[in-house]
Amino acid sequence: MKKIEYQLFNFKNHQYIIAGNDDSLQFIGSWDKGVTELTSFFPDYQIIEVKKGLEKYQDQLKEYFNHQRTTFTMPLEFNGTDFQKAVWKQLLEIPYGQTRNYTQIAQAIGRPNSVRAVGSAIGKNPLLIVVPCHRVLTKDNRLGGYRGGLEMKQALLQLEKN
């Protein structure tokens, strides 16, 4: 059975779960959702809470939240289909403080007729914040959906505007 390690990460009145190992980060959870969100992404994994070992990922997230970092340099591991991975990798190309829409993402990955599938893949992004799905809006610049909830999405967009 595969294993994934996680830690609880508290910052600015919210708790996040981050998960991975020494080699890569594999998951960042939504505000205050707890371990059930992690298990829904990794149902066939043994999930192990650790007290140490994932701090290097927490440090970069803290820097981001404190306006000291606009890009992440941590190694990431994507667990998903080839299509999902293509979408998530395209999200990494959206610069800090900018947004794109679902149609633009579909076009960028060479699948212009797959806008709904792109939306579905974005909704399954296991690496919130680092893979910036919060930067994707609807074609008419509305927030659309967000796994972490619209309040979290709005807060991340606002953070990047300041």
* Each residue's pLDDT tens digit, 96-115: 999 999 999 999 999 999 99
Q: Are residues 61 and 87 in the same domain?
A: no
Q: Which of 13-23 are b and which e, b meaning 16 or more Cβ less than 10 Å from the residue's Cβ?
A: eeebbbbbbee
Overall number of domains in the chain:
2
Answer yes or no: do 92 and 157 share one domain.
yes
Is-contact 53 65, C-beta < 8 A?
no
Exposure class string for 100-117: b at 16+ Cβ within 10 A, else e: bbbebbbbbbeeeebbeb
CATH of the domain at 109: 1.10.10.10
Domain for residue 42, yes or no? yes
Picking from 107, 110, 91, the residue whose alpha carbon sits closest to that of residue 99 is 91
| pLDDT tens profile 30-42 | 999 989 999 999 9
Return mean pLDDT, the chain: 95
Q: Is 133 a catalytic residue?
A: yes
Options 28, 133, 136, 156, the catalytic residue? 133
- Residue 122 pLDDT class (50, 70, 90 cuts): very high
Tell me whether strands 45-49 and 2-11 are parallel, antiparallel or unpaired: parallel
Q: Is the pTM of this model over 0.75?
A: yes
